[in-house]
Amino acid sequence: MNNAKPAYITLLLALLHGVAGISILVISSWFIAVSAIAPVGFNYVIPAVVIRALALLRIASGYASMWVGHNDLLARIANIRLSVFSQLENAQINEKALTTEALAQHTEELASRWIAWIAPLSSATFIFTCLCAVAVGFGFPGAGLLIALFVVWSIALVLQGIGALRIAKRATHANAQFRQGSTNFLNSSAIWHLSTAFTNMREGKTTCADESHTLQGPERDVARNLETAEASAPDINIKDVSAKVVWLEKIAQKNTANRMAWWFQGMAFLLVVLTMSGAFSIASALLFTPIAIVVPMVLLAAPDWAGNAFSSISKFAQYKQSVKALQQMKATPIKMLCEREINTAVTLTEFSVTGRRTSKVNTNLPARGVVCVTGSSGCGKSSLLQGFAGLLPAHGKRKIDGVNLPPGLVTNWRYVEQEPVILSGSLALNLDPAGRGISHSEFITLMQELGLEKLLPLTTWVGKAGRPLSGGERKRVALARAILAKPRVLLVDEPFEGLDIHTQHRVCTVLNRYAKDNLVIIASHVTPKALVVRKNVQLDGASIVTVNGDHRATL
Amino acid sequence: MIKEKIPSRQTLTQWCKEMDSAQSLGLRRSLMSQVAVKCLSLFSLIIGFYYFSNIAQDWVVNKTPATRGDIVGLSSCLALCWLFQGAFNALSSRGKVKALDKLEARLKQVFVARQHALIRQHSVYYWQTLWLQHIQAFTDWALEYRVQQMIAVIVPLLALAVIFYVNPVIGLGLLLTLPVVPLFMIIVGKGAAALHRKHFVALERLGSLFTDRLAALPMLASFQAHQKQTDLLKQASENLNARTMKVVSVAFLSNSVLDFFATLAVALVAVFIGFSLLGELTIGPTITLQQGLWVLLTVPLLLSEMKKLGQVYHQKAQAEAAQDELYPLFSIPIQAHAQDKTHSDEKVEGYFESINKRPSESLLTASNVNVFEMNASLYSSLSSCESETPVLLCADRLNVSKGDKILLSGASGSGKTLLLEALGGQRPASHKFNEPVVWITQHPVVTPGSVRENLCLDDSFTDEALNEVLQAVELGPWLTLLPYGLDTVMTDYPLLSGGEAQRLSLARALLRKVNIWLLDEPTAHLPDSQHHRLAQLINRLGENKTLIWASHKALPANWFTHFWAIKDGKVKVASMVSQNEDQEATNE
C-alpha cells in the first residue's frame, strides 16, 4: 500500500514556497537596513526587483503546491482505496470495531502523508539547515544562536513526536472503549426506565419543582438546568459512558503541539533578546553592518515559519496509527465452491453455525419447492440460512444428493438478508451488480411483479444520497436481484416483514413460481397462505438439553 | 411510521447564542477572554517590534550597541507576548473542556427524558457519531473558529493603527487596499460555492461509494460482483477527482488571494521604505530605519490572522452539519419543564387536566389528548404558535383506572407505539401517567452482563426474589440448566430463544413494584404457538396490574376491559362488541 511513488513535485513546490517566504523576509529587512546607510551609487534596483520576483514566486508556488498537492492527494486516496478494496475480494472484514467509515478515514490519512506532514516538516528542516549554513558560512553575528535554535527545534520535534504517538495510541484505545460502552448503553435504551437512578431523578424533579416557583421565565430555566445538570447520573451506566476521554485525548493532542510551539516561541524570543543585547555576540567583522539584523529577524519570525512543524508531528502520529490499523485489518477469505446440480435433496446433519448457541439441525430438503424455516426471533433462523449458504462458518454437514459439500460459498446459491444492502447506484446496477448484461425488459417485468413499479425507471439512483427506499422496498429490490441471478438455491430471510397483505401475496406468487425449478428456503415467523410450502422446518422448542450448549432442535 | 418534520433552520450563530444562554456553556465569556488575551499578546508583540527596530537603528545607523532601556523593553514585551500566548492556549482548552462537559450532560438529560422513544429512531452508529463528533464539531467552531474570526478582524485594525501612527502614507495605502482582500475572497468563495452546488449531487454520490461498497462486501462476494464494482469504483474515483479538482481549483484561489496580498504588501512596503530611505521617493514624511523596520515587521500581522482563519474554516461546515442533527435534539424540553408547567401554569392553559383533583382510583382522565413529535416544545406550542406544532395523534377522551386492561389495536404504523410513548412520558404530549410505568417492547433487551445484572440493573434484589420471579415467568427450568446460575454471563449470543428473552424482560418488570405495564407488541416476533403461551403468561402475571397492550395478533377479548383503536391519527375508544368483531376481522 505504501509503495506509491513519492510526491516529489508537491515536496518541491512546498520547499519553494517556504524558501521564497523566508527569503523575502531576509532580503527586505537587509534591503531597508542597507538603504538607511546607503552609500552613494548603491545599486538598489537589483534587490528591489529580487524582492518583487520572490513575492510573485511565493504566490505562484503557493497556489501550485496546493493544487498539485491536492491533485496528488486525491489520486493517492483513490489508489489506496482501490488496492484495499481489491484486497478484500471474496473476503470479509471480521473486526467489528473497524467500521467502513474508519477504514475510509485511515486510507485518507495514509494518502495525505505528503501534504500533511512530510512536505511541511522537510521544508522547515531544509530552510533551517540553509539558514544555519548561510549564517555560519558568511559569519553573521548570532549564527551560533541560530544553530542553537535549530538544535532545540529538532529535539522538541522528537520529544513531541514520541508524546504524540503515545497520545494517539491512547486516543485509539479510548475511542474503542467509548464505542463498546456506548453501544451497550444505547442498545439497552428500552430498559433505561427501569433503573432506579432514573426514577429517583424523576421524583427528585417533582419535589423540587415548587421551590423554583419564585423564579421567573428564563431565570427559572437556568436554575432548572443547573439542578438537572448536577443530578444527571440517571442511568445504570450513563455515568460510565462518556465521550470525555476521547475528547480529552484529542484536546491533549492539540495541546501538546501548542505547548511545544509555545516553548519554542519562548526560546526564539529569548535568543532574540540575547542577540540584541550583545551578550553573546563575539567581535565579528559584520557587527553593526546591515546584514547583522538578519539573524535577529529570522529568530523573531521563527515561531511563524518553524512553529507549524509541531502540529505536523501530530498528524504524523495519526498517520502511524492509521498504518497500524490498516495492517491489523484482518480479512477472512470466503471460499468459493463451484455450483453443483441438485437432483434429489440437500441434507443437513448435525448442522449448526459456529460461535452461536443455536440448535443442531437435522433435515432433508427437497431439490425443488419452498421450504419454510419458522421459529421465534433469536432462535437462529438467520444464522441457519447464512450457515447454509456458506456465509457463516458452521459445524455439521451439508450434503447434496448424499455427497458432502465442503465449507464455503456456493457460487449459484443466493442469500437475501433481512436488512438487505442497497448499493449506492442506479437501480439497474443494484439489480445486476456483477454486470452480467441481463436484459432490461426482464428487470422491468420482475419489478412489476414484485410491486416495485414506483421505483422505475431503471436509472433511478437509490441508496445513499439517492431516492430513499422503505424497508419493504429494499427487501423486494434485494429479492429481485437474487432472482435475476438465477440461483439454484435461493435463501430469503424474513421476506414478508413490513409488507402489506397485498404485496405479500405478490411476493408469494413470484417465490412460488421460482420454486418450481429451484429450491427456495424462507426464514419467516409468518407464513402467508398464498405461499405453497413444500416443507416446514420448525426451529422452535430449541430449549437446552444439556448444559454445555449441546442442544438440538425438534424437527 | 409517521415521519417527523425537521424544524426550520436558524443560523448557526443565533443558535449558538441560544444554546449558550440556555445551557450556561460559558461560550461568550470564554470567547471574549480568549480574544482579549490573544489581542494583548499580539499588541505586546507589536510594541516589542518597536524596541527591536530601535536596536536595529542603533546597530546599523549609529553603530552602537543597544541601549539598556531598549533591551529591557524588548525583553519585557516579548515575555509578555509569550505569557499571554500561554494564557490563550490554556483558556482555549479549558473553555472547550467545560463546554463539552456541559453539552454531554445535556445530551444525557435528553436521553433520560426521551429514552427509547428517541433512541429507537436512529441507529447506534448515528448516536455515537452525534455524541462523539457533532458535539465536538460545535465546540470547535464556537471556541476556535469564532475566536479566530474576531481576532482576524481586530488585529489588522490594531496593526493598521500602529502603521498609521508611524507613517500615514503607508497606512493610507494599506487601508485602501485591505478591503479588497475580503471582497476578492467573497467573490472567489461565491464562485466556489456555485461550482460546488453544480457538482453537489455527483460529489455526494461518488464520494461515498467506497464506504458503500465496503459495507456491501459479503453481498458482492456472493454475487461475484467484485470485479465489476472495482472497475466502477475506479471510474467513479476518476470522475470524482476531476470534479473535486474543478471545485478546489477555484476554492484555493481564495487562499491565494490572501497569500497574494500578504506577500505583495510586505514586498511593496519593503521596496517603498527602502526607496524612501534612499531618498528616491519623497512621498509623505521622511522615514528612519527604525520606523521602516517597525512597519515592515507589523505589516504581516494584517493578514496572518486571516490566514489562520482559513486553516480552521472547515470547522464552520462541520458545525453546520452538526447543527442539523443537534438542533432538534437540544431543543427538546427536559421533562422537568413540562411537569413544572402542569403544576404552575394551569390557569393559563386549561389544557392540562388537574392532576390533583382526580379520584384516587383513576390513573388518567384525559380529554383532548394530543401527541406531538419528538422535539415539540410545550412552551411554544401553548403560547403563540399552537397550530404550528403538528399533532401526530389525538383523542377526545381517554380514561384509565386502576386495574384496567386495555387492548390497543391499529394497523402497523398507525401510531400505537407513539401513544404508549406519550402516556409513558417519553414523548411530548398533553397528558401522561403520573406514576412510573414498565415497558415491554417488541425486542427484549438482553445486556451482556450476568443474569443477575440483567434482572437487577442498578438495583439490588435478594436471590430469593430473583428466583421467585424467574419461576413465575416459567424460566425456572432454564435457570437450573445454566452453568453458574444467576451469575452466568450472557454473551453476544445468549442462551435464550426469543420467547425466553421476552420472559426475562417480564421477570425484570415483575421485580419492580410498578402498577402500570405498557406492552408494545411483546409477541410480535414470535411464532403463533409461542405467542399464545407468552400472551397467557402475561395475562396471568398482569392480573392485578393496569395493562395497556398493543397488539395486532389475536388476543381473547374477554381478557380486556377496554378497547382502544387507532385509525388515521385518532384514538377511538370502541365499545366492546364492535371492537370484538373488528379484532377478529383484522386477524383473519
**Residue percentage of chain B with pLDDT more than 70:** 85
Spatial distance between the Cα atoms of B281 and B292, rounded to a whole number of angstroms: 14
- Which of B104, B201, B215 faces A100 most closely, judged by CB atoms? B215
For A86-118, the DSSP string reads HHTTTEEE--SSS-HHHHHHHHHHHHTHIIIII
H or E, element range at B515: none
Closest Cα in chain B, distance from residue A401 (Å): 23
Q: How far is B395 from chain A (nearest CA, A)?
A: 25
Q: B97: which chain A residues are within 8 Å (Cβ-Cβ)?
A: 247-248, 251
* Contacts with B90 (C-beta within 8 Å, 6 or more apart), sequence order: none
Rounded to an integer, what distance in angstroms lies between the CA atom of residue B265 and that of residue B300?
8
Residue spans of alpha helices (H) in A88-213: 100-111, 113, 119-138, 143-187, 196-208
Distance CA B531, CA A382 (A): 20
CB contact under 8 A, B112 and A201: yes
What are the angstrom distances between the C-alpha of B68 and each of A279, A292, B51? Answer: 12, 19, 11
Residue A191, chain B, CB below 8 Å: the answer is: yes
Strand residues in A242-314 grouped as ranges (E): none
Q: Is the pLDDT of residue B46 over 90?
A: yes
d(CA A287, CA A282): 9
- Per DSSP, B61 falls in state I
C-alpha triplet B167, B171, B173: angle, nearest 5°: 125
Confidence band of B44 (pLDDT split at 50, 70, 90): very high
CA distance A366 to chain B (A): 23
Per-residue model confidence as pLDDT tens digits over B102-146: 888 888 888 887 888 888 888 888 888 888 888 999 999 999 999
What are the pLDDT digits (tens) for B346-387?
333 333 343 443 444 666 666 667 776 665 544 444 433 344
| Contacting residues of B for A35, CB less than 8 Å apart | 273-275, 277-278, 289
- Check residue A285 and give its pLDDT: 61
Extract the C-alpha cell encoding A433: 451488480
- Contacts for A421 with CB less than 8 Å, ≥ 6 apart: A478, B215, B216, B219
The closest of A248, A205, A201 to A223, measured between CA atoms, is: A205
Q: Scanning the structure block, which residue is given the C-alpha cell 516538516?
A: A121
Contact A293, A29 (CB under 8 A): yes
Q: How far is B247 from chain A (nearest CA, A)?
A: 11
Mean pLDDT along residues B178-207: 85
Q: Using H for helix, E for strand and C for coil, what is the string for B386-435? A: HHHCCEEEEEEEEEEECCCEEEEECCCCCCHHHHHHHHCCCCCECCCCCC
Q: What is chain B's alpha carbon radius of gyration, rounded to the nearest angstrom? A: 34
The span from the CA of A135 to the CA of A144, in Å, is 9
Each residue's pLDDT tens digit, B14-35: 888 888 777 777 888 899 999 9
Hey, which of B82-96, B251-265, B457-471 has the most confident mean pLDDT? B82-96
Task: Walk along chain A (555 residues) in steps of 10 and give the mean pLDDT of each run.
Answer: 72 93 89 81 84 91 91 90 86 68 86 89 93 88 88 93 92 86 82 68 41 36 38 45 86 91 93 82 66 87 89 90 85 79 80 71 84 74 83 82 82 85 87 85 87 82 80 87 89 84 88 90 84 80 35 31
The helix/strand/coil state of B178 is: coil
A417 part of contact set with chain B, CB < 8 Å: yes
In this complex, the residue of A224, A288, A423 whose CB is nearest that of residue B216 is A423
Say whether A28 and B208 touch across the interface (CB within 8 A). no
pLDDT band at B510 (very low <50, low <70, confident <90, very high): confident
CB nearest B225 (choices: A250, A266, A434) = A434
Question: What pLDDT is stored for residue A208 in this prediction?
Answer: 35
Q: Chain A residue with minimal CA distance to B49?
A: A300
Interface contact flag, A290 B128, Cβ < 8 Å: no
| Residue of B218, B273, B477 lying closest to A391 (CB–CB) | B218
Backbone angles phi, psi at B440, to 5 degrees: -120, 120
pLDDT at B366: 67
The CB density around residue B577, as the number of other CB atoms within 10 Å, is 10
* pLDDT at residue B519 in the model: 86
Is B277 within 8 Å of A38 when comparing Cβ atoms? Answer: yes
Out of A51, A63, A417, name the one closest to residue B270 (CB): A51
**How many C-beta atoms surround the C-beta of residue B179 within 10 A?**
9
pLDDT tens figures, A381-409: 788 888 888 888 788 888 888 888 888 88
Q: Please report, for residues A15, A155, A167, B230, the alpha-carbon distance to residue A161 in angstroms, rounded to integers and kept in the order given.
A: 22, 10, 10, 37
Chain A residues touching residue B244 (CB < 8 angstroms): 74
CA atoms within 13 Å, Cβ hemisphere of B388: 14
What pLDDT does residue B75 have? 93
Instruction: Give A178 to chain B, closest Cα distance, Å.
Output: 9
DSSP secondary structure string for all residues of B463-507? HHHHHHHHHHTT-HHHHHHSTTGGGPBP-SS-S--HHHHHHHHHH
The residue with cell 517603498 is: B272
Residue A457: cis peptide before it, omega within 30 degrees of 0: yes
Residue of B61, B96, B112, B266 best to disrupt the A interface, most CBs of A under 10 A: B112
HSE-up of B283 (CA within 13 Å, CB side)? Answer: 12
Q: Which of B60, B63, B234 is facing A33, going by the closest CB pair? A: B60
Cα separation, B469 vs B507, in Å, equals: 5
Spatial contact of A275 and A296, defined as CB atoms under 8 Å apart: yes
Q: Which residues 6+ apart lie within 8 Å of A3 measured at CB? A: none
Q: In the prediction, which pLDDT does B353 show?
A: 40
Model confidence pLDDT, tens digit, residues B237-292: 899 899 989 888 888 888 888 888 888 888 888 888 888 888 877 777 788 889 99
Put simply, the chain A residues between 111 and 150 with a CB less than 8 A from any chain B CB are none
Average pLDDT score over residue span B396-418: 78
- pLDDT at residue A543, rounded to an integer: 39
B519 and B548 Cβ atoms separated by less than 8 Å:
yes
Report the run of H or E that residue B3 belongs to, with start and end.
none
A106 → chain B, closest CA residue = B211
Distances (CA, A) of A172 to A249, A382, B304: 9, 33, 34
Nearest residue in chain A measured CA to CA from B236: A78
Residues B282, B372: Cα–Cα separation, whole Å = 75
User: Above 80 in pLDDT, residue B576?
Assistant: no
ipTM: 0.82
CB A315 within 8 A of CB A339: no
Closest CA to B229 of B212, B244, B207, B205: B212
User: What is the H or E stretch that residue A466 is in?
Assistant: none
Domains and CATH numbers, chain A: 93-180+243-332 (no CATH), 336-554 (3.40.50.300)
pLDDT of residue B533: 82
Which residues share a beta bridge with A462?
A425, A467
CA distance A361 to A347: 10
| Gyration radius of chain A's alpha carbons | 35
Cα separations (Å) of A280 from A141, A215, A220, A292, B334? Answer: 9, 67, 65, 13, 66
Nearest to A228 among B109, B441, B482 (CB): B109
Please give the distance of CA B583 from its chain centroid, rounded to a whole number: 42
